[in-house]
Structure 1
């Protein structure tokens, strides 16, 4: 099976025997999934896909002991998250473990040279093709705790935990702010609500503070951990799940689903998660239950809402973002 993505096509042509290596934060690529390596990722959808094929897959937030032959780190769009991965690998794996770092030139992979140098790790360029570059190094002990990447900030009277790679890192997103301004008039004072795509936990914490029974879900393990930390920092309660949209949730029904759904996968536009959120919402809502979501005004969600609910209304539109409300009849 041939590699599908440019970064994996670059790896495929290498003479390195990657059997027994660990793929860290890779893209979806069937060539990788068929290879004899393990997966380390915070992406629930990717973890599930690997496990369904019988592959070894683990999260950085689990307690597995890892001793791979080597590591391939796929450099992410969020450079600070790439730096976190390097710190985590240096802290958790044996010094001297071979390290390859690969990424797209457009995604800033060449910054890795300076990052590795700053950490005191040597580096050499191995190859470049398909507008991607591959660098080689070895892991070593670094006197920086990966947990130092976690920060907090204040918004809406709440303390929010933040981590590189989590949506809205370090600030309140304008779309979320617009959504919050509509919620008070729409939501009941009691009932069960679902925050789908919880990010740093701002919506979950706001809902829990209102007294609603709150469940939060995100496919990104960093977001799940951020939301748990946000709830704890504010003395609030809520269930937080690492899941791909509704997959893995119990057959619970909610009085409302609230969301600022993502539409990017790295730099690519991806309407899939939002589409599944909307299409599956009626089955997860009780009679009279409502979906409240905010999205960029140009996104093609009205047709999806019309198809799923038979109608919807626009609660707010500032030309950049729209807040939609759809009710299960």
Structure 2
């Protein structure tokens, strides 16, 4: 199978023997998934796809994998997240492990030269094509703990954990703030509530503080870890799990579902997760249960809500964001 994405097409034409290498935070690409490497990622959907094909895959929040003969880091859009991955690799893998870093020019791959230099890691350019560049280095101990990337901030009277790999890093998103302002009037006083796409855990913690029984789900492993830390920081309880929308919730029903669903995948607009959320919500709500979500006003969710629920309300609209509500 030939590589499908530009970064993998660049790798495919290299002379390197990538057998057994660790692919870190790569895109979906059949060339990788049918190869002989191993996956390290925080994306639950990606992990599930690899495991479904019998491919070895793990996350940085699980038990450590065996030392690989080499590592390829796919540079992410979030520069600080790329730095975290470098620190994690330097802290957890043997000194001298070959490292390659690949990424698209519009994703900031050329900044890697300065990042590696700041860490004291040598670097050379290996190849450039398809508007992508590949650099090579070797891992070393750099004296910086990746744990230091975890910070905290205060919002709505709560202490929230923050990480560069989590949406809204270090601040309360304006859309979530609008959603929170409308929740008191529409949620039950008791019951089971699902926070879908939990991010840093602001909704889960807010709901748990009100005495609701909370389940929080996110496809992003960094968000799952952040929500767990946020609940713990506030002395609150809740079930937090990694999952792609409702994939890990078969047979579960809730009195309410709340969400600020994502619509970006790196630089691309992706309505897929929000569409699956809206379409699947009725079968995961009890009779009379309610879905409440916030979204950018321009997103085409009214049609999806109409088809899934037969109707909906707009609870708030500040021209930038809208809060929608629909009931079974």
Normalised by the length of structure 2, the TM-score is 0.99
Superimposed CA distance per residue, residues 23-64 of structure 1 (whole angstroms, 9 cap, x where no aligned partner): 000000001101100000000000000001010000000013
Cross-structure match for 1:99 = 99
SS at match of 1:113: helix
What displacement does 1:319 show? 0.5
Displacement of 1:250: 4.5
Does residue 32 of the first structure (1) align with residue 71 of the second (2)?
no
Unaligned runs of at least 5 residues, structure 1: none
Q: Deviations over 1:123-163 (max 9, x none)?
A: 00000001100000000011011000000000000000000
| Distance (Å, rounded) in 1 between the aligned partners of 2:42 and 2:257 | 24
Native 8 Å contact 2:58 2:65 kept in 1: no
- The equivalent residue for 2:83 is 83
CA deviation after TM superposition for structure 1 residue 188, in Å: 1.3
Are residue 277 (structure 1) and residue 244 (structure 2) matched?
no
Task: Give unpaired runs (5+ residues) of structure 2.
Answer: none
The Cα shift of 1:65 comes to: 3.3
| Per-residue deviation, 1:114 | 0.5
What value does the CA root-mean-square deviation take over the aligned residues? 0.6
Shift of 1:310: 0.3
**Per-residue CA distance 1:46-104 (angstroms, 9 max, x = gap):** 00000010100000000133210100000000110100000000000000000000000
Q: Give per-residue Cα distances to partners, 1:204-246, cap 9 Å, x unaligned.
A: 0000000000000000000000000000000000000100001
Asked whether 1:145 is paired with 2:168, we answer: no
Distance in 2, matches of 1:151 and 1:250, equals 34
Matches within 5 A, 1:44-123: 44-123=44-123
> What residue in structure 2 maps to residue 219 of structure 1?
219
Question: 2:43 maps to which residue?
Answer: 43
The answer as to 2:6 corresponding to 1:20 is no
For 2:282 and 2:214, the matched residues in 1 are separated by: 18
Inter-partner Cα distance in structure 1 for 2:66 and 2:265: 27
Contact 2:123 2:136 in 1 (8 A): yes
CA–CA separation in structure 1 for the residues paired with 2:146 and 2:111? 19
